[in-house]
Amino acid sequence: FCVCVFVVSRSYADFTPQATFDIKKCEVHRLEEGPAGKAELTREQGLQYYRTMQTIRRMELRADQLYKQKIIRGFCHLYDGQEACAVGIESAINPSDHLITAYRSHGYTYTRGVSVKEILAELTGRKGGVAKGKGGSMHMYAPHFYGGNGIVGAQIPLGAGIALACQYQGNNQVCVTLYGDGAANQGQLFESFNMAALWKLPCIFICENNRYGMGTSVERASASTDYYMRGDFIPGIRVDGMDVLCVREATKFAADHCRAGKGPIVMELQTYRYHGHSMSDPGVSYRTREEIQEVRSKSDPISLLKERMLSSNMASAEEFKVIDVEIRKEVEEAAQFATSDPEPPLEELCNHIFYNEAPIEVRGTNPWSKLKSVS
Amino acid sequence: MAALRCFLRSGKGAVSVLLRRELHATAPASAQVMVRDALNQAMDEELERDERVFLLGEEVAQYDGAYKVSRGLWKKYGDKRIIDTPITEVMCDSVLAPPPQAGLRPICEFMTFNFSMQAIDQVINSAAKTYYMSAGLQPVPIVFRGPNGASAGVAAQHSQCFAAWYGHCPGLKVISPWSAEDCKGLLKSAIRDDNPVVFLENELMYGVPFEMSEEAQSKDFTIPIGKAKIERPGSHITLVSHSRFVGHCLDAAAVLAKEGIECEVINLRTIRPLDVECIEGSVMKTNHLVTVEGGWPQFGVGAEICARIMEGPAFNYLDAPAVRVTGVDIPMPYAKILEDNSIPQIKDIIFSVKKTLNV
């Protein structure tokens, strides 16, 4: 991301254009040193991070409502609480880099460039959705964003494969491959670690440790909860995932590591989700409400950033309110669209089976039902 | 006959298969090419043609391939294009790449398709379904190839036929070639295809030579995916098969011809999409159908063919129920006598034909 940019705007001449903040030092594994303990933030960046995180927050909460109204069906895994991860990562990589994650993907879908409107419409299964209503919550894609994957852990080897493609093409791009604390015990993660390290693939393996795999706490699932060390021969960093600046600095560090040809690196983001695992999980049978409340009041990523900026006089409370109002409006309009847009037409049921192919016939539910599939 | 079968089984096909010669017209400048070499040629030509194509798998590079199918490729193309992987099927087939314009076109070799079960989630859930789930945003141009089905004395865990398993899934193309020409033309088409293709070879066929016409030897020779081939025209009964058992059908047809029964032998070439029109056209001519496959009977390729014939116009032309000749419904045993009796033999095909024709 860019070096200091002094933003001086006439009407906001009173505000501090840039400040340096202390961030939590990362624990490191197999590294001489980790990211610096300080991060610079410009006013412009701060407002942008705030806006993005808040948009994700509001979008997820609106999805929660739509789900309870039964307008969204099936699976819905919400990201509220973890916003600093998606925003911090995106701020440290280029749009030309690649990213793949698992099913808790709405936040990344947004940071990778899909509009709130297209995300919500995909959740409600409408033709205006980013996957035309055919994918749903877990299957949203964008350029250089490979979803959205429903099988726990399956996205990890895919991410390593994308990193292989980057290396093959010599394009100096990296692939950010995300997984959770639950997936961290999957065999395919270790297969991917081996190959990425063996071939020095430019892959940043990021474990979003939100402390619970569905309803199983990390202590009950993992023999070792030091997820940043689980890569064994791969260097690792443990990061405060509730602090967007900490995530950003760590990701920058990791991306530099990969681009320098040093091979893969593991990052563990210590984060938290306010919602249950999915909308069918109230989220309180395996953890206490007090715990959730405590994180909300002491470590909320959006509040943390806001307080930092306010206390350094980088922005005013009114500005944040204005942003909030704008976001609310954007999300509301998106929700309106998502509820009013029509469902995909039945004629398109069989489309997109194959790419770059002449139309084919597809058997319907009975032998007389002959449907058409267009590429 | 037994000696011939022995040759076919062991794959030491230095001797041409006599029965084949009379069926393939010897064109000018045609040559005897082994299936293994045809596959090698196909990959070599496609690697040369498109920089984005590369091969990865266990022992494909320095070892020249577990079955020597990729012999010489690593010497020619080097580490970047021919990649030895550790024993990790999941990772092997997860080389999902960015869209074709910017992305890569991997050929992923499974040492045998039995090992693909370790990674079948990726083949189905990450490869086959992705273009559909993304509504056209994320195509997956990848080829999964390797030997499929029974070999010789490799026992239960190494002998399964996966044609039906992969053939079940939308989003995949599944090819099961028989001859050298099939292998070359179809593998080239598979590599050029922008979609996930499962290419089921057969280990016992690798060493079998076939006549290949000059045309088939050319660098641009491709065979369209989804089209079957009538290897032997006939008028009394239709035999439909894929892979190695096409040869068995032709052998059976030769024996039956001496008794005045003319079999039409169809080589499916592609399992998915199935060339139903070809089968229907044939059945409407011969009025009798026997399918032959190495896989297990239940929910298999033959079962699908029979169902489709029932549902289509050819049903009214059948003079007898369509039947399937399949592998025995058991895990593959080891002892030779048991193994020999676990897969369709030529006598089983002859028997089924005569029963169907009621002779």
Residue A146's closest chain B neighbor by CA?
B138
Residue A367's closest chain B neighbor by CA?
B311
Domain count, chain B: 2
**Cα(A168)–Cα(B106) distance, integer angstroms:** 11
What are the sequence ranges of the domains in chain A?
Answer: 18-344, 346-374
Q: Side chain identity at B41, as an amino acid letter?
A: Q
Query: Domain boundary at B217, B249, B273, which?
Result: B217
Residues B252 and B333 grouped into a single domain: yes
**Cα(B131)–Cα(B126) distance, integer angstroms:** 9
What's the pLDDT band for B29 if we cut at 50, 70, 90? confident
Strand order in the sheet with B237-241: B229-232, B263-267, B237-241, B289-292, B323-325
CB of A105 closer than 8 Å to CB of A98 = no
How much is the pLDDT for B101?
Answer: 41
How much is the pLDDT for B5?
Answer: 52
With respect to residue B16, please indicate whether it lies within any of the assigned structural domains.
no
Q: Give the Cα-Cα-Cα angle A253, A57, A335 (nearest 5 degrees).
A: 130
Arithmetic mean of pLDDT, B61-77:
96
Residues of B labelled as active-site residues: 89, 158
Q: Check pLDDT > 80 for residue B318.
A: yes
Residues B185 and B295 grouped into a single domain: no
Q: Is it true that domain A18-344 has CATH number 3.40.50.720? A: no
**Cα(A375)–Cα(B131) distance, integer angstroms:** 9
How much is the pLDDT for B14?
Answer: 42
Dihedral, CA atoms, B8, B12, B15, B21, nearest 10 degrees? 40
Pairing mode of beta strands A38-42, A98-100: unpaired
Beta bridge partners of B325: B292
CB of B253 closer than 8 Å to CB of B145 = no
- Start-to-end CA distance of chain A, whole Å, equals 38
Residues B35 and B58 grouped into a single domain: yes
**Cα(B248)–Cα(B208) distance, integer angstroms:** 13
* B263 to chain A, closest Cα gap in Å: 29
CB of A237 closer than 8 Å to CB of A266 = yes
* Bond prior to B273 in cis (omega within 30° of 0): yes
Residues B55 and B196 grouped into a single domain: yes
CB of B89 closer than 8 Å to CB of B115 = yes
With respect to residue B104, please indicate whether it lies within any of the assigned structural domains.
yes
pLDDT in tens, B56-67: 999 999 999 999
Task: Give the range of the structural domain holding residue B87, as residue numbers without chain letter.
Answer: 31-217
Q: Does A141 touch chain B (CB under 8 A)?
A: yes
What's the pLDDT band for B89 if we cut at 50, 70, 90? confident
**B137's tokens:** 């945003």
* B140 to chain A, closest Cα gap in Å: 8
Residues of B in contact with A122 (CB under 8 A): none
What percent of chain B has a predicted confidence (pLDDT) above 70?
Answer: 89
Query: Domain boundary at B173, B197, B217, which?
Result: B217
Domain with residue B97: its CATH number is 3.40.50.970
With respect to residue B115, please indicate whether it lies within any of the assigned structural domains.
yes
**B39's tokens:** 């596959």
How much is the pLDDT for A11?
Answer: 56
**Cα(A37)–Cα(A245) distance, integer angstroms:** 10
What percent of chain A has a predicted confidence (pLDDT) above 70?
Answer: 97
SS3 B42: helix
Residues B170 and B310 grouped into a single domain: no
CB of B134 closer than 8 Å to CB of B106 = no
Arithmetic mean of pLDDT, B245-260:
98
Domain with residue B237: its CATH number is 3.40.50.920
One digit per residue, pLDDT tens: chain A, 375 residues? Answer: 444 445 544 455 789 999 999 999 999 999 999 999 999 999 999 999 999 999 999 999 999 999 999 999 999 999 999 999 999 999 999 999 999 999 999 999 999 999 999 999 999 999 999 999 999 999 999 999 998 999 999 999 999 999 999 999 999 999 999 999 999 999 999 999 999 999 999 999 999 999 999 999 999 999 999 999 999 999 999 999 999 999 999 999 999 999 999 999 999 999 999 999 999 999 999 999 999 999 999 999 999 999 999 999 999 999 999 999 999 999 999 999 999 999 999 999 999 999 999 999 999 999 999 999 999
CB of B136 closer than 8 Å to CB of A375 = yes
How much is the pLDDT for B87?
Answer: 84
CB pairs under 8 A between A and B: 119
Q: Does A126 touch chain B (CB under 8 A)?
A: no
Residues B111 and B169 grouped into a single domain: yes
With respect to residue B179, please indicate whether it lies within any of the assigned structural domains.
yes
Q: Does B254 touch chain A (CB under 8 A)?
A: no
CA nearest B123: which of B49, B200, B67, B46? B200
- Mean pLDDT (chain B, rounded): 91
The interface pTM score, or ipTM, of the predicted complex is: 0.91
Phi and psi torsions of A242, nearest 5°: -95, -5
With respect to residue B8, please indicate whether it lies within any of the assigned structural domains.
no
Residues B326 and B180 grouped into a single domain: no
Q: Check pLDDT > 70 for residue B11.
A: no
Q: Give the Cα-Cα-Cα angle A251, A252, A255 (nearest 5 degrees).
A: 85
Query: Domain boundary at B165, B186, B217, which?
Result: B217
Q: Does B88 touch chain A (CB under 8 A)?
A: yes
Residues B235 and B336 grouped into a single domain: yes
For the entire predicted model, the pTM comes to 0.91
pLDDT in tens, A155-199: 999 999 999 999 999 999 999 999 999 999 999 999 999 999 999
**Cα(A114)–Cα(A85) distance, integer angstroms:** 17
Task: Give the one of B94, B100, B194 whose C-beta lies nearest to A157's C-beta.
Answer: B94
- The reply to whether residue B133 touches residue A169, judged by beta carbons under 8 angstroms, is no
With respect to residue B148, please indicate whether it lies within any of the assigned structural domains.
yes
Q: Check pLDDT > 90 for residue B19.
A: no
